[in-house]
Amino acid sequence: MNDDQIRQLVRVKCAEDRSSASIAIAPGMPVEDVTEALLGALLAERGLADESIDHEAVADLVSAYAADSTSAHERVVASGVPPQHGLDARLTLEDRFQSTSLRASDGAMQAGSDADRGPKGAIDHYSRTAFVVIHEGEVLGRIEPPTQGVDGQDIYGRVLAAKPGKRLPITIDASVEVTEPDHRLVARNSGVLEHTAITLRVNPTLEIREWIDFSTGNIDFPGDVDIRRGIKDCFAVRVGRDLHAGEFIEAANISVGRDAFLLRGMAGREKGTLRVARDLDARYLDGVIAEVGRDCVVKGEINNTHLRVGRALDSPKARVVGSTVVVGERAEVGQVAGETGIPASLHVTGRTLDGTFHKHAQTLLPQLRAELEDAKRELDAIRSVTGRIAATRLAELQTLVAMRAARLDQALRAVRSLVEQAQQGPAPTLTIQRLLFTSASLQVGPFRFRPRNHLKGPLTICAPSDGSEPWFEDLLSQRRRPLAEVGALDTDTSWVSAATLDALIRSAA
């Protein structure tokens, strides 16, 4: 049988993708001519690489045809090695962040933990939260980097290139660190986790589009909080940095680590509390217990409110009615008290020293001086005595004198420091732009004052730092007069002047 006849009865079929090859034998081929050598030669003629040929399959085909030459037989006798394509990069978040971004999935509240439950095991719905808060240094998850893959080989011995895995299609901003070599995701700052199809970041600002109510629960957030609406009754909001609230705040409990901006103010119904570490800017305060660390601006009323301000109250249009306000250095308001006899109390303390401290210093400094003098007298007496016991006691007394002198010096330095602060601080001043009613109770520095008649502004009341008599000035006429001329004036004995403490220091030094 010639070559053409053999090729008609024994056909080598190669797959178009070069992944495999088979041999088909038709009936009519002499059994004795169908050998492994023949089939191997036909495969080699087609250019197949020897390492891709399955010689056992070739032998099995020969045996099958020998057993039944009246039937057609076909076997796959060569196979390539498919490429192992690389895996795409994958981001895996920690379990508590799964299916979350800004809120829990579908806006649902997170399940109440033991900390959210009351004494009888009931869930406190105020304490439940809808937000996933991230703290600086917290591990968010990890990135599985893409793999390059492994090349394959076709039946002809040629390389089948593997496709490398794709990089992560997400932008990870500077708020998240990718560590090496473990590819962990670590928060660089505190905030709220934002995870979308294109970005991953820890946003230092928590943005809330609606009210703080049962849909959000209480808020305890280390960064800035921007509330588009307001805060409902009885909810607690603790902010590590700045707070912005677009609508009014009800009788809630607010704590702010830096500045607070209340665009519509706060109506606390004498239950709500507001503590701001630095500056407050509010439209009005009504029925609030408030404490501001530095400066405060109120554009409207300060009504039925207890307000303490560390440095300055800059509210030239504000009406202070039915309130108690204490300010550290200076205050400017529009009106104090009400025309119908509604009282108000406004106290600008300045750096006046508390009488309680004075009483303590008045007792402690002479006591430390007396103890030092006693030790000195005993030391002088024992210096004239000889002997071993006297020498030991001499050393003890020298140490005791040094210790008591150091204690007295430390106490004197502390008191001097407070006196210097009081002397160097600005004189406490109160400016009233419109009206001061007779139902107002004022205190500027250590001086308490009640006006005899209504006083029309603009006017300024000042207590000089040198302890001299307070005065008031009509800012239109620029006429200055003693404050005692226009009302009842007395001195708060619970406060002492820097001069008094300075005399105490000199007597104890």
Any idea where the domains of the chain sit in the sequence? 3-79, 85-202, 205-310, 313-509
d(CA 19, CA 49): 12
Instruction: Give the tens place of pLDDT for each residue, 257-312.
Output: 999 999 999 999 999 999 999 999 999 999 999 999 999 999 999 999 999 999 99
Give mean pLDDT, residues 211-223: 91
pLDDT band at 150 (very low <50, low <70, confident <90, very high): very high
Complete DSSP assignment for 340-388:
TS--EEEEE-TTPEEHHHHHHHHHHHHHHHHHHHHHHHHHHHHTT--SH
d(CA 347, CA 329): 10
Nearest to 358 by CA among 483, 501, 254, 207: 501
Which residue in the block uniquely carries the two structure tokens 């495999």?
A: 20
* Contact (CB, 8 A) for 66 and 143: no
Give mean pLDDT, residues 17-45: 93
pLDDT band at 162 (very low <50, low <70, confident <90, very high): very high
Six-digit token string for 298: 């109120």
Confidence at residue 106, expressed as pLDDT on a 0 to 100 scale: 32
What integer best gives the mean pLDDT of the chain?
Answer: 87
Confidence at residue 102, expressed as pLDDT on a 0 to 100 scale: 36
Per the DSSP assignment, residues forming a β-bridge with 93 are 141
Six-digit token string for 381: 């007496």
pLDDT band at 110 (very low <50, low <70, confident <90, very high): very low
Confidence at residue 227, expressed as pLDDT on a 0 to 100 scale: 96
Question: pLDDT over 70 for what percent of the chain?
Answer: 88
Per the DSSP assignment, residues forming a β-bridge with 319 are 301, 335
- Which has more pLDDT, 138 or 499? 138
Confidence at residue 504, expressed as pLDDT on a 0 to 100 scale: 72
Confidence at residue 425, expressed as pLDDT on a 0 to 100 scale: 66
Q: What angle do CA 12, 13, 15 make, to 5 degrees?
A: 145
Helix, strand, or coil here: 60?
helix
- Which has more pLDDT, 499 or 216? 216
pLDDT of 505 higher than 80: no
pLDDT of 116 higher than 50: no
In 285-407, DSSP assigns E strands to: 285-292, 295-298, 301-303, 306-309, 312-321, 324-327, 330-336, 344-348, 353-354
Per the DSSP assignment, residues forming a β-bridge with 274 are 254, 290
d(CA 239, CA 224): 7
The single-letter DSSP state of residue 484 is: G
Alpha helices, DSSP H only, in 68-211?
A: none
Which residue in the block uniquely carries the two structure tokens 């037989």?
A: 73
Give mean pLDDT, residues 36-51: 93
Confidence at residue 337, expressed as pLDDT on a 0 to 100 scale: 96
Give mean pLDDT, residues 334-346: 93
Give mean pLDDT, residues 83-104: 75
Phi, psi at residue 246, to the nearest 5°?
-85, -30
Confidence at residue 108, expressed as pLDDT on a 0 to 100 scale: 38
pLDDT of 185 higher than 60: yes
d(CA 472, CA 483): 5
Confidence at residue 427, expressed as pLDDT on a 0 to 100 scale: 86
Confidence at residue 358, expressed as pLDDT on a 0 to 100 scale: 64
Confidence at residue 319, expressed as pLDDT on a 0 to 100 scale: 96
Between the alpha carbon of residue 44 and those of residues 50, 73, 498, the distances in Å are 8, 20, 110
Helix, strand, or coil here: 1?
coil
Would you say the pTM of this structure is higher than 0.85?
no
Confidence at residue 508, expressed as pLDDT on a 0 to 100 scale: 74
Q: At what angle do helices 36-45 and 55-67 cross, to 10 degrees?
A: 130
d(CA 294, CA 436): 25
d(CA 506, CA 500): 10
Give mean pLDDT, residues 151-172: 93
Weakest mean pLDDT among 112-126, 203-217, 218-232, 269-283: 112-126
- Which has more pLDDT, 70 or 101? 70
pLDDT band at 124 (very low <50, low <70, confident <90, very high): low
Weakest mean pLDDT among 103-112, 344-353, 366-375: 103-112
pLDDT of 478 higher than 60: yes
